[in-house]
Amino acid sequence: MNFKSGYRYSTLEGSDSIRLLQIETVGTTAQGRGPIRCWIRHFSLSNAPPYRALSYAWGLDSTKKMFMNDKIEISADGNTKWVWIEALCIDLSNEEERNLQVGRMGTIYTKAAEVLVWLG
């Protein structure tokens, strides 16, 4: 996934914290599906709302523009309320956070209400 506007992550608080992506339902217009709008929210893993976790193959191009916190940020596909996507919910430029979150991926996927796989 390709970040275009330099989205700035706020620091996760606590060792149990994760980010979830809240996605607004996308309407259909005469030109097709509208842009995806979403927000990043912080939760403790033990108190997170039901969410889907997306496992995907790296290097695939996406097809829809997405607005992250009301700014055009990335291109992606999707239409669900809460979702955990590694490339969006982990600050991959922060090595300490990345290592901590990657170490907890098994738990993150296990706690997900559903795991979606995108193999392309």
Q: Per residue of the chain (120 residues), give pLDDT as tens.
A: 344 456 788 999 888 999 999 887 667 767 766 777 788 999 999 999 999 888 765 555 555 555 555 544 444 444 447 888 888 889 888 999 999 998 998 999 999 988 877 554
- DSSP result, 83-112: EEEHHHHS-TT-HHHHHHHHHTHHHHHHHS
- pTM (predicted TM-score): 0.65
Domain boundaries, the chain: 17-61+71-118
